[in-house]
Structure formats: structure tokens, C-alpha cells
Amino acid sequence: MKQRSYLAIEDVTVEFPTKQGPFCALQSIDLSVERGEFVALIGHSGCGKSTLLNVVAGLVKPSRGVLFLDGDVISGPGPDRAVVFQDHSLLPWLTVEENVRLAVDKTAGDKSKAERRDWVLHNLELVQMAHAARKRPGELSGGMKQRVGIARAIAMKPRILLMDEPFGALDALTRAALQDVVMELQASLNNTVLMITHDVDEAVLLADRVVMMTNGPAARIGEDHAVAMARPRDRLKALDMAEYAAARHAVVHFLHERYRNPTVGRAA
Amino acid sequence: MSSLSTLKVVPLRRDDPQAAAVVATPAPVEAVVAPVMPQAAPVAGLAQLWLDRGRSVAASVLPTMLMIITLLFVWQLSCSAPDASFPSPMKVWEESHEVIVHPFKGVSLDLTGLHIDDQGDVGIAAHILTSLSRVMIGYGMAAVAGIALGVLIGQSPFAYRALDPLFQVLRTVPPLAWLPISLAIFQNAGPSALFLIFITAIWPIILNTASGIQQIPLAYRNVARVLGLNPVEYFLRIMLPATVPPMFTGLRIGIGMSWLAIVAAEMVQGGTGVGFFIWDSYNSSLLTDTIVALLWIGMVGFTLDRIVAAIGRIVARSN
């Protein structure tokens, strides 16, 4: 029997019905992610990377192909695949604590009330948000909301953590702070992570592998670059590392030479 | 997120004195913290707070008062001729003196509750209270049925396509047009009056609830799916809280419309209620009594609207 990877995406094609006939977003995607691996998916806007993440999350059904997570077929959404959404998706009528609590109640129903409460606070502490437990999302900055979004996801103890351009809406400084949070969490929890980004530095700094996608429609995986930098990583030291430069070079060349931004290409 | 925050803006009033008071609080807090002036500072801060509060109340009330005085003045001037067909404010005061100064005639309050004398001649407040009790029953039923139907057509595209055209047609029917049908169905004045209020108030409640549910952001539904919420949890934890603002918009329009329908309803009912009072004063050519009743209806309608809006704010805050 073939030994499958922890997350195995096998020949996944996604087509959406449109008035002009089916639109092929993803074409025959094969991707393997090992347990504890941090994989960044990068590509131009509209290349279908969010679709791929949604397929793994179970929010979108593939037209063809099959996905396995730790040997189980993925057939729909579930709390074992926690998602950090780009727009954080916190429920505005719940406090920070209640938002995380909702996720914990669903995933740790066998624990006592006190244990669940402590677990919520523990996870808020991990993202340095315990001080705002009683606040509502509307009272928080974008970066703080996304910290809570991350806390909610990791509090579910997912088998894989899916991050959909988690810092896309944040300014550069806030983004750097959040990237550091993610690196710290990764060092202590060693989650399996699939993250979507269109920030080359973010991909290279955070990921063990950068998977580059070709432009849509019918997007495929173009290149798969392993980032051989030791952990823990430091954003300042990384700047002087040959591996960092090499990975950056590979990704930038892929995105801006081999697969240029389709809209820019059309305008030229 | 953005759509919800825009919806939330609707019931909030930024210019009310409460909001102004919140803005004014930092001053005394800082004064208390400052160690230099241990006694005088809080007192001065408090005085300043009350002054600010008084000023903001005056700023919001003053224009209204000026408008009322001007209106009464113009009305008095234009209707003061002896042969004027419309009574002036002074004439209203003189001719309907009894109605104005004894509104609670026939109403008694004791430990068992509020009692209204059912032997005919009662004050206008008694008629208003009778009308209010009818509105509460009719509107209460409309609220329950309207939210239930709104949830049904909001979350089921099939039910929406089936029922929405029907609702869109029926909602344009004016209250009075329901009167013959209502009488034919119930054969009895009491229930048909309630039905009239019910059928008038229900449409905005249904349609606003339904559109609120349809506009729940995809993000919230995705959260629910990822968390694996079951339908009951989804309904209680996501759908209801996300729909509170538009639902209360519907409930607010609904209470206004049910109060509008009361005159029509009580022309059927007869005998009691503010609608009957107007009908009766018209038949007795007591135009000044009608004017007094109109003012009462307006003020009660305004109060009802504010009460529902306030409940909406409390519910939106607490869930």
C-alpha cells in the first residue's frame, strides 16, 4: 500500500458553473504536506489559491479528485481543520473570550466548564490578547482581531491549521508583529499549517516550503521550493542568510518572470 | 462585518443626551486622579458635567420648543377669525377643556391592576389604554408570526420563492381594505379588529427579518461550518444575533403601522378605543375633540416607536 502524506491532495480539479459554461479554477492539483510542516501557497490574485484552501477546509467540494488528512477522506468542513480567515470573521456580538469559547465548546465538549474557560484564556495568552478578553471585536484594531482569530483557530487543536491570507489586510508593521506571533506558536505547538499569502517575504520567512501556483484559470502548482533555513528564525538575521536570498530569488522569479501578473501582462 | 456595522447604525441616535454625557465623562475622572486639588476638583468636575449635560439637553430641546411655539402662534393667527372653519388652539382649549384636563376619567388603578370603566363616558386616556391593549395583542401576534415566517423565507430559498410574491402583493393592501374580509372571516367585531392590526403590522416584520437573514455575511456561515455548529446552534448563536438589527427595524415599522391601523380597527369594534373616540367626535361634530385625540395618538405612537427602538438597542448590546 502506498504510504500517504499527512495531508494528501490528489488530482483535485475545481470547476464552477457559470453562464458561459464551467469555469475551471484548479486543474489537477497534487500536493503533499507532512505532519508539522508549514507550507505557504503563493500566487497572483485570482489564481485559485483561496479555492484550494477552501477545498482543504471542506467549504468547497472538488469537482474531481480526493483529499486525505491523516488517512481520512475530507468530505466537508469540520473543526479538525481550523481556518484563520482573511477578514478574521469574529462574531461582533460576542466578546473576544466568547468568540474563542464558541470554538472551544464545540471541540472540547468533554472537558469541564472550568477547564474550557482556562483553555480559552491560555490560548488568548499565547497571542497576547488575554487583557482584551471582555472586549468586543469592534473595540479592537485589525491586528488584535487577527490575533484573536488565530487564538480561536489554535484553541480548536486542529489537525491542520489553514490560514487564508491572514495578514493581507494589515499594515506592514502590524503584519511583522503577527508573523512573529505565528513563528512563536509554530515553535511551541508544531502545527501542520497551510497558509495562503501573496507576500514573498512572509512566505519565505514563515514556511518550510513555498508552493507557487500558476495563473488561473485552470491553475496548477508551478514550483515547490523548500526553504532550508534553520528554526527558530529571526527576521533580521534571515536577511543575511544565503538560503533566504535563494528562496526569495526563486519565488520572485516565478511570480514576476515566468508567471507575470495576468492583468499587468494584458495591459502591456 | 461591514454590512452589519452599517445596519447597527440605524437604531442608534448619536445626538441624544446620553451620548453627550459619555463624551463629557473624562473631565471629572482626570480631576479625581490629579492629586494636587484633592477636594475642589471633583465638585468642580461634577458641576461642569451637569452644566455640559444641561447644555446638550437644551441644545436638542430648544429647537423643538421654538418650533411648537411658532406653530401654535401661526395656527392661532390664521384661525382666529370668528367665522374660521377650523378651530384655533384657544378654541380647542376652551371647547375640549373637559377632554384635555380629565383624560383619566373612568380609569382606576388598584392592587389588581388597571381598570377601565366600561359604562360609556370615559376620558381620552381610557380610550387610548383600550386601544393600546388591542394593539399589544394584535402586534404581539404579528411579531411572533412575522419573525417565524421571516426566518422561514429567509433561510429557505424554496419558501422564499413560494411566499415572497404573495407577501409583496398582500403588504400593499391598506388596513381599511382588510375590514370587510376580516368581518367576513370572524363574524365578530373583537377578533376582526385584532386581525386588522395583525395583518397590517406583520409584513414589515416578515420582510425585514427575512432580508436580515439573507444578508448574514458568508464569513459567519463559514465560521459556523468550520466550527461544525448544528442547525439549532447555528440558529441561536449566529442567525438570531446577526439578524437582530434588521429584525428590530421591522418591529419598529410594525408597531408604527399597527398604531396606524387602530382607527380602522376601532371603527369596526365600536364603543371604546381612540379610533371610536375620533369616529364619535366626528359624528357629534366635535372637531376640537378630534384634534385632541390626534395629538394623543401622535404622542403615543412616538412613544411606542421609541420603546421598541430602545428594546432593540438593549437586545443588540446584550447578545
- Long-range contacts (CB closer than 8 Å, 24 or more residues apart) made by A256-259: A258/A222, A259/A43, A259/A44, A259/A212, A259/A214, A259/A215, A259/A222
**Residue A226: which of A202, A251, A201 has the closest Cα?**
A251
Q: Which of residues B315 and A117 earns the better pLDDT score? A: A117
Q: CB–CB of B316/B244 below 8 Å?
A: yes
Residues of B with Cβ-Cβ distance to A92 under 8 angstroms: 1, 4-5
A176 touches chain B (CB under 8 A): no
Q: Which 221-250 residues of chain A touch chain B by CB within 8 A?
A: none
Phi-psi region of B84 (alpha: psi -120 to 50; beta: other; left: phi over 0): beta
| Partner residue opposite B227 with nearest CB, options A76, A85, A102 | A102
Look at residue B316 in the predicted model and tell me its pLDDT.
80
A102 touches chain B (CB under 8 A): yes
Distance CA B199, CA B131 (A): 16
Taking only the tens of pLDDT, chain B with its 319 residues reads 444 444 443 444 444 444 444 444 444 444 444 444 445 556 677 888 888 888 888 888 999 999 999 999 999 988 888 888 888 888 888 888 888 877 777 777 776 767 777 666 778 888 888 899 999 999 999 999 999 999 999 999 999 999 999 999 999 998 888 888 888 998 888 888 899 999 999 999 999 999 999 999 999 999 999 999 999 999 999 999 999 999 999 999 999 999 988 877 887 777 788 888 888 888 888 888 889 999 999 999 999 999 999 999 888 876 5
Distance CA A150, CA A178 (A): 10
**Residue A69: which of A106, A34, A104 has the closest Cα?**
A34
Query: DSSP letter string over B63-96?
Result: HHHHHHHHHHHHHHHHT-STT-SS--HHHHHHHT
Q: CB–CB of A12/A64 below 8 Å?
A: yes
Q: Which residues of B touch A (CB under 8 A)?
A: 1, 4-5, 219-220, 222-223, 225-229, 233, 237-238, 241-242, 244, 316, 319
Look at residue A196 in the predicted model and tell me its pLDDT.
94
Residues A12, A16, A20, A25: is their CA dihedral positive or negative? Answer: negative
Question: For A135-170, what is each residue's pLDDT tens digit?
Answer: 999 999 999 999 999 999 999 999 999 999 999 888
Q: CB–CB of B1/A92 below 8 Å?
A: yes
- The mean pLDDT value for A111-126 works out to 94
**Residue A95: which of A130, A137, A128, A127 has the closest Cα?**
A137
Q: What percent of chain A has pLDDT over 70?
A: 96
A86 touches chain B (CB under 8 A): no
* Helix boundaries (H) for B79-217: 89-95, 97-101, 124-155, 157-170, 175-186, 189-214
- The mean pLDDT value for A65-86 works out to 93
Question: For A209-233, what is each residue's pLDDT tens digit?
Answer: 999 998 878 888 888 989 988 888 8
Contact residues for A165 (Cβ-Cβ < 8 A; gap 6+) = A50, A86, A196, A197, A198
What are residue A64's phi and psi, to 5 degrees? -150, 155
Residue B114: its H or E element:
strand B113-116
A184 touches chain B (CB under 8 A): no
Query: Looking up cell 497571542, which residue turns up?
Result: A127
Task: Give the ipTM.
Answer: 0.87
C-alpha cell at B209: 427579518
- The mean pLDDT value for A85-94 works out to 91
Minimal C-alpha gap between B290 and chain A (Å): 46
Look at residue B265 in the predicted model and tell me its pLDDT.
82
- Determine the residue of chain A that is closest to B225 in CA distance: A77
Query: Looking up cell 482556562, which residue turns up?
Result: A118
- Determine the residue of chain A that is closest to B245 in CA distance: A93
Look at residue A124 in the predicted model and tell me its pLDDT.
95
Minimal C-alpha gap between B75 and chain A (Å): 49
- Long-range contacts (CB closer than 8 Å, 24 or more residues apart) made by B113-116: B116/B272
* Per-residue pLDDT at A268 exceeds 60: no
Q: CB–CB of A10/A68 below 8 Å?
A: yes
| Partner residue opposite A85 with nearest CB, options B219, B238, B316 | B219
Contact residues for A12 (Cβ-Cβ < 8 A; gap 6+) = A26, A28, A29, A30, A52, A55, A62, A64, A65, A66, A67
- Counting one residue from chain A and one from chain B, the pairs whose CB atoms sit within 8 A come to 54
What are residue A265's phi and psi, to 5 degrees? -60, -40
**Residue A146: which of A159, A163, A134 has the closest Cα?**
A163
Verify whether the Cβ–Cβ distance B219 to A82 is below 8 Å.
Answer: no
Verify whether the Cβ–Cβ distance B238 to A91 is below 8 Å.
Answer: yes
- Determine the residue of chain A that is closest to B230 in CA distance: A106
Return the number of other C-beta atoms located less than 10 Å from residue A117's C-beta: 14
C-alpha cell at A212: 507557487
A87 touches chain B (CB under 8 A): yes
Distance CA B217, CA A134 (A): 24
Verify whether the Cβ–Cβ distance A92 to B229 is below 8 Å.
Answer: no
Return the number of other C-beta atoms located less than 10 Å from residue B236's C-beta: 12
Residues of B with Cβ-Cβ distance to A156 under 8 angstroms: 227
Report the largest interatomic distance among the alpha carbons of chain B, rounded to a whole angstrom.
Answer: 79
Q: Which of A60, A61, A89, A140 to mutate to test the interface with B (most CBs of B within 10 A)?
A: A89
Question: For B6-22, what is each residue's pLDDT tens digit?
Answer: 444 344 444 444 444 44
What is the β-pairing status of strands B113-116 and B107-110?
antiparallel
Minimal C-alpha gap between B219 and chain A (Å): 6
Query: DSSP letter string over A190-219?
Result: ---EEEEES-HHHHHHH-SEEEEE--SSSB
Residues of A with Cβ-Cβ distance to B246 under 8 angstroms: none
Omega prior to A232 cis, within 30 of 0:
yes
How far CA B154 is from CA of A24, A87, B149, in Å, comes to 31, 24, 8
- The mean pLDDT value for A79-99 works out to 93
Residues of B with Cβ-Cβ distance to A138 under 8 angstroms: 5
Q: Which amino acid is at B188?
A: N
Look at residue B158 in the predicted model and tell me its pLDDT.
96
Verify whether the Cβ–Cβ distance B242 to A93 is below 8 Å.
Answer: yes
Angle at B280 between CA B277 and CA B286, to 5 degrees: 95
- Determine the residue of chain A that is closest to B3 in CA distance: A92
Question: Considering chain A, what is the average pLDDT of its residues?
Answer: 90
Residues of B with Cβ-Cβ distance to A86 under 8 angstroms: none
